[in-house]
């Protein structure tokens, strides 16, 4: 079938990749270059954040974990398995019970006392995929192009704007803009600010989701570290806040003291597409052609993206069988 995929971030490109593999004629429509997408800015470490419903997120997350782990083993550009540590200030036995995401990860153990920074009673050690989006997103886009996709640069304000492409199915994977395309007022921005610093030699990702100063995470990459971050629901600002930059540096140095001598490269802010529940479903009443929705991933785009894309491909196949 002819499929128009609206959106060229991680959600749109992963859908396009699977649909091309299934033999469909795919056109990817986007008004933004790759480096202007929210996906390009993402810290992009596998870890379920600000997305629901829990059961579906667990299933999508497990599929995505396996996909990215295989890509890391195959040395796909930008994908590595990163040793990680989640910290708990008051957790003498963090293994009882394990958090829900641990089922997808598999090998999770209690952190040894010597692995904990000052002030922490416990932690969990495990390995998860880390994706350097400035490398991975162009690679994925190259795969989509090589598989025969047509790419159209166009600012879409309504899904009607792609009907001239004569699609049999439309995939709505437009991220923060997806809700406006279909008048879904349950979509809201989740502002995330991060700080990029030089890497002083760190190799361990560290996070404290309940730090007294706000969410704190440190993700070492090949040439830098991503420090975060914020989850500000309802904020539309994409301007970095200098006060927040200082606060992020302070709390991240608290959980990773080795950052004390790191130099700031830049601070950036982006808008994650929030929604009470991620929307992955077939809609046959909205347009003259069926629409498959894939949006509202919150802070979990890289964590559930390939799982959601797998469901999208199955829904498109369902349309084709009718």
Cα-Cα-Cα-Cα torsion 129, 134, 140, 142, nearest 10 degrees, comes to -150
Q: What is the mean pLDDT of residues 44-64?
A: 93
Q: Are 60 and 277 in contact (CB under 8 A)?
A: no
Is 204 part of a structural domain of the chain?
no
Question: CB under 8 Å to 84, separation ≥6 — which residues?
Answer: 45, 125, 126, 127, 128, 204, 205, 206, 207
pLDDT reading at 322 higher than 90: no
Q: What is the mean pLDDT of residues 112-127?
A: 94
Domain that holds residue 154: 1-81+130-186+276-322
What is the pTM (predicted TM-score) of this model?
0.94
Q: Tokens for 306?
A: 């390939």
What's the number of domains the chain is made of?
1
pLDDT in tens, 161-179: 999 999 999 999 999 999 9
Is 282 part of a structural domain of the chain?
yes
Is 265 part of a structural domain of the chain?
no
Is 200 part of a structural domain of the chain?
no
Q: What is the mean pLDDT of residues 251-279?
A: 95
pLDDT reading at 94 higher than 70: no
For the chain, how far is it from start to end, CA to CA, in angstroms? 12
Is 293 part of a structural domain of the chain?
yes
- For 248, the enclosing helix (H) or strand (E) is helix 242-255
Instruction: Give the residue among 114, 154, 130, 12 at the shortest CA–CA distance from 69.
Output: 130
The CATH number assigned to the domain holding 145 equals 3.40.50.720
Per-residue pLDDT, 38: 83
Question: CB under 8 Å to 142, separation ≥6 — which residues?
Answer: none
Q: Are 131 and 44 in contact (CB under 8 A)?
A: yes
- DSSP code at position 98: P
Cα-Cα-Cα-Cα torsion 280, 41, 46, 13, nearest 10 degrees, comes to 40
**Range name among 26-30, 90-94, 271-275, 314-318 with the lowest pLDDT average:** 90-94
Is 223 part of a structural domain of the chain?
no
Is 1 part of a structural domain of the chain?
yes
């Amino acid at each position: 079938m002819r499929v128009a995929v609206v959106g060229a971030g991680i959600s749109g490109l992963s859908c396009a990749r699977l649909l091309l593999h299934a033999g469909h004629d795919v056109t990817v429509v986007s008004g933004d270059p790759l480096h202007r997408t929210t996906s390009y800015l993402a810290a992009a470490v596998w870890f379920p954040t600000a997305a629901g419903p829990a059961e579906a997120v667990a299933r999508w997350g497990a599929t995505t974990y396996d996909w990215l782990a295989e890509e890391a083993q195959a040395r796909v550009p930008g994908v590595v398995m990163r040793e990680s540590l989640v910290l708990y200030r008051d957790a003498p036995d963090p293994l009882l019970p394990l958090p829900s995401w641990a089922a997808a990860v598999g090998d999770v153990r209690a952190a040894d006392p010597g692995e904990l920074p000052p002030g922490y009673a416990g932690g969990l050690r495990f390995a998860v995929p880390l994706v350097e989006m400035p490398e991975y997103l162009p690679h994925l886009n190259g795969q989509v192009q090589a598989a025969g996709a047509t790419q159209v640069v166009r600012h879409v304000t309504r899904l009607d704007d792609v009907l001239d492409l004569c699609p049999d199915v439309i995939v709505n994977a437009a991220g923060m803009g997806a809700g406006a395309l279909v008048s879904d007022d349950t979509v809201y921005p989740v502002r995330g600010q991060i700080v990029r610093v030089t890497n002083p030699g760190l190799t361990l990702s560290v996070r404290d989701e309940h730090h007294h100063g706000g969410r704190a995470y440190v993700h070492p990459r090949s040439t830098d570290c991503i420090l975060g971050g914020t989850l500000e629901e309802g904020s539309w600002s994409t301007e970095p806040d200098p006060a927040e930059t200082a606060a992020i540096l302070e709390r991240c140095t608290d959980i990773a003291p080795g950052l004390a001598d790191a130099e700031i490269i830049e601070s950036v802010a982006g808008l994650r597409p929030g929604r009470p529940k991620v929307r992955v479903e077939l809609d046959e009443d909205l347009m003259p052609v069926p629409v498959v929705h894939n949006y509202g991933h919150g802070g979990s785009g890289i964590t559930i993206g390939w799982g959601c894309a797998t469901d999208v491909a199955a829904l498109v196949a369902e349309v084709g069988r009718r």
